[in-house]
Amino acid sequence: MEAPTGKVWLVGAGPGDSGLLTLKGRQVLKQGEVILYDSLVSESILAWMPAHAERIAVGKRAGNHLVPQESINRLLLEKAMQGKRVVRLKGGDPFLFGRGGEELELLAEHQIPFEIVPGVSSALAVPAYAGIPVTHREFASSLHIITGHKKHNQPLPLDYDSLVRLGGTLVFLMGVHTLPEICKGLLGAGMPPETPAAFLENGTLSNQRRVVSELGRLEQDAKQAQMKPPAVLIVGAVCALSQMFSWADQRLLSDVRVIVTRPAERASSLTQPLQELGAEVLELPAIQTVPRPDTPDLLRMLDRLPHYDWMVFTSPAGVDVFFAFLYRNRVDMRSLHALKFAAIGPATARMLEQRGIFADLIPDTYDAHALAQALQQAVQPGEKLCIPRAKEGTEQLTKPLQQAGIPFDDVPLYDTVQLGHAPVALRETDLIVFTSASTVKGFVQAMQGTDLRGVQAVCIGEQTARQARHHNMKTAIAEQATIPSLIDCVVACHLQRKKGCSL
């Protein structure tokens, strides 16, 4: 019996900003079993690769191919013939100087099914993020995209006379090393040296930089600014609009990357507001909530439900897992009618509200110690508590209750499992957000071998900060243990750092 034939998707990952990966591109990526990816694909997009997928770095950059093109073509064929769902993840668009056509030839020859998922090209997106419209009725009515890449020790095969006569906007991709040759060629063909020109590095990312100049001075200005690949060269009158239309670097967090370590299912409440403020967000879930099987402790909790007076929740995840457990065991919600509910903070309370339950108690400070103090004030003599929470729950809640003589059942409901991920290269400007001590532990474990001294951690509370300081990180603590307060802390930390750099 023949092995089933797989399928290949050529996916354009866009220029870097994870928000510019198309919805279809992300959907295909999440379903990939084998993923071959280029060096120019941003880490924030690579973080979305499924944990179970086989990941193959093929490392294509100008002048440096980790895996030769012929080997990439062969790998795509071999993996597809093994019956795998193969994703070829390419920077920008697969068919714009991405050699996508070459990668399809071998597949078509062997009748391997494939699909193309177009990507946002850096030729359009990078200028847009620098405030440069590649066409404008008053300045340019045509756009010409040209490769700046050349074969080793050979001149660029460009007709500079024709390019100058075209009169539109010229966009050169992969032109860092050939910038002097391009400028000389255009000037030699008669383009005026005062023609506006721009050189844009790491476009759409938090570390993007731009040099806007004139053609006659661009080489010197780019060299002085030490511009490096990946970069896009733009020549044409529209470059003069950059200062007027600049928008990306006007955002509050435009020049910072924030690493979010909370579980994937809860990351969006942090990621979206940060992205709206302009931050580049890298989601690196450090922990995962894993519901425990129906242990004797959990089944005993079901039997004792009529005898409890309080149900105490210490996290939104606990609410989710608890009600899923009840549903799985066909427990009628009406059996909870006599219970009072306590929540450690507003996020946990909102999860209860989604089940039609309004918390009877939320402490003024959103941590375990404050919750214990509030319970000591609210619980009447003879009342009994049930605390369904993580197996690794802190004693800051249970120890004060014990000392006060308040009866409770501490029920292990789920495990907090530390996730491994490939270490990432940290930047000096990175801010790392931690929402629990366990996220700190998971991040440190994943980054083994990385010197974390001086890394700036933004923490939701003192317990989390204590764990970060244990690993020599600098810490800033949110005023309240809420997501909005945590975001405010990110902003304040970034602005303070920028102020310090400008002194």
Whichever domain contains 471, its CATH number is: 3.40.50.10090
Decide: helix, strand or coil at residue 247: coil
Decide: helix, strand or coil at residue 94: coil
Q: Which two tokens stand for residue 170?
A: 């010229």
pLDDT at 264: 83
Residue 4: which pLDDT band, with cuts at 50, 70 and 90?
Answer: low
Q: Which two tokens stand for residue 472?
A: 């020599």
Mean predicted confidence (pLDDT) in 35-50: 94
pLDDT digits (tens, 9 = 90+) for 103-151: 999 999 999 999 999 999 999 999 999 999 999 999 999 999 999 987 7
| Dihedral over Cα of 366, 372, 377, 382: its sign | positive
Q: Is 243 exposed, middle or buried (0-12, 13-18, 19+ CB in 10 A)?
A: exposed
User: Whats the size of the chain, residue-wise?
Assistant: 503
Q: Based on the domain organization, do 373 and 227 belong to the same domain?
A: no
Residue 280's beta-bridge partner residues? 257
Say if residue 503's pLDDT is above 60. no
Q: Chain-wide mean pLDDT for the chain?
A: 93
Amino acid at 51: A
- Which residue among 382, 417, 452 closes a domain? 417
Does any domain span residue 2? Answer: no
- Which residue among 357, 384, 417 closes a domain? 417
> Alpha-carbon distance 268 to 274, whole Å?
10
Alpha helices for 145-267 (secondary structure H)? 160-166, 179-188, 215-224, 242-245
Q: Based on the domain organization, do 413 and 318 belong to the same domain?
A: yes
* Domain of residue 380, residue span: 291-417
Alpha helices for 15-154 (secondary structure H)? 23-30, 43-46, 69-81, 100-109, 122-129
Q: Based on the domain organization, do 93 and 73 belong to the same domain?
A: yes
pLDDT digits (tens, 9 = 90+) for 271-295: 999 999 999 999 999 988 899 998 8
pLDDT digits (tens, 9 = 90+) for 82-92: 999 999 999 99
Does any domain span residue 329? Answer: yes
Q: Which two tokens stand for residue 30?
A: 């999440």
pLDDT digits (tens, 9 = 90+) for 479-493: 988 899 999 999 999
> Alpha-carbon distance 165 to 187, whole Å?
12
Query: Which strands make up the sheet holding 85-90, listed edge to edge?
Result: 54-57, 34-37, 85-90, 7-12, 114-117
Q: Which of 218-227, 397-406, 494-503 has the lowest mean pLDDT?
A: 494-503
Q: Which of 62-66, 306-310, 463-467 has the lowest mean pLDDT?
A: 62-66
Q: Based on the domain organization, do 38 and 102 belong to the same domain?
A: yes
Q: Which of the residues are catalytic?
A: 38, 60, 174
pLDDT digits (tens, 9 = 90+) for 169-205: 999 999 899 999 999 999 999 999 999 999 999 999 9
> Alpha-carbon distance 500 to 503, whole Å?
5
Query: Between these two residues, 497 and 215, which has the higher pLDDT value?
Result: 215
> Alpha-carbon distance 147 to 172, whole Å?
5
Q: Based on the domain organization, do 48 and 112 belong to the same domain?
A: yes
Residue 11 host element (H or E): strand 7-12
Mean predicted confidence (pLDDT) in 222-244: 96
Output the domain CATH number for residue 223. 3.30.950.10
Q: Based on the domain organization, do 57 and 149 belong to the same domain?
A: no
> Alpha-carbon distance 9 to 28, whole Å?
8
Output the domain CATH number for residue 104. 3.40.1010.10
Q: What are residue 260's phi and psi, to 5 degrees? A: -105, 125
Please name the residue that has the structure tokens 């990939």.
32
Q: Is 288 exposed, middle or buried (0-12, 13-18, 19+ CB in 10 A)?
A: middle
Q: Based on the domain organization, do 36 and 52 belong to the same domain?
A: yes
Say if residue 419's pLDDT is above 90. no
pLDDT at 413: 94
| Dihedral over Cα of 36, 41, 45, 47: its sign | positive
Decide: helix, strand or coil at residue 344: coil
Distances from the Cα of 378 to the Cα of 83, 284, 310, angstroms: 61, 39, 10
Decide: helix, strand or coil at residue 237: helix
Q: Which two tokens stand for residue 89?
A: 């993840």
Longest dimension (CA), the chain: 93
Q: Based on the domain organization, do 93 and 130 belong to the same domain?
A: no
> Alpha-carbon distance 76 to 69, whole Å?
11
- Per-position DSSP letters for 402-462, written without gaps between them: HHTT--EEEEEEEEEEEPP-------TT-EEEESSHHHHHHHHHHTTT---TT-EEEESSH
Q: Based on the domain organization, do 46 and 138 belong to the same domain?
A: no
- Which residue among 120, 143, 167 closes a domain? 120
Q: Based on the domain organization, do 246 and 262 belong to the same domain?
A: no
Query: What domain count does the chain have?
Result: 4
Does any domain span residue 344? Answer: yes
Q: Based on the domain organization, do 323 and 407 belong to the same domain?
A: yes
Does any domain span residue 444? Answer: yes
Does any domain span residue 482? Answer: yes
- Secondary-structure percent of the chain, ordered helix, strand, coil, rounded to 5: 40, 20, 40
Does any domain span residue 100? Answer: yes
Does any domain span residue 237? Answer: yes
Please name the residue that has the structure tokens 């006060």.
404
Say if residue 324's pLDDT is above 80. yes
Q: Are 109 and 20 within 8 A, CB to CB?
A: no
Q: Based on the domain organization, do 269 and 360 belong to the same domain?
A: no
Q: What percent of the chain has pLDDT over 90?
A: 81
> Alpha-carbon distance 53 to 35, whole Å?
7
> Alpha-carbon distance 208 to 254, whole Å?
9
Residue 502: which pLDDT band, with cuts at 50, 70 and 90?
Answer: very low
Decide: helix, strand or coil at residue 90: strand
Does any domain span residue 1? Answer: no
Say if residue 1's pLDDT is above 50. no
